[in-house]
Amino acid sequence: MGFWRGFRGDELTSLQAEHVQVAAGEGMSCFFPRTKGDRQHKGVTFHAPALARLCPVSAYLDWVSLAHIEIGPAFRSIDR
The 10s digit of each residue's pLDDT in 23-66 is: 888 999 999 887 777 778 888 888 988 998 888 899 899 999 99
What is the model's pLDDT at position 28? 93
Q: Is 45 left (phi over 0), alpha (psi -120 to 50) or beta?
A: beta
What is the model's pLDDT at position 38? 74
Report the alpha-carbon distance of residue 58 to residue 4 in Å, rounded. 13
What is the model's pLDDT at position 64? 92
Q: Which pTM was predicted?
A: 0.78
Does position 22 have pLDDT exceeding 80, yes or no? yes
**Pairwise pLDDT comparison (78 vs 13), residue with the higher score:** 13
Report the alpha-carbon distance of residue 44 to residue 36 in Å, rounded. 10
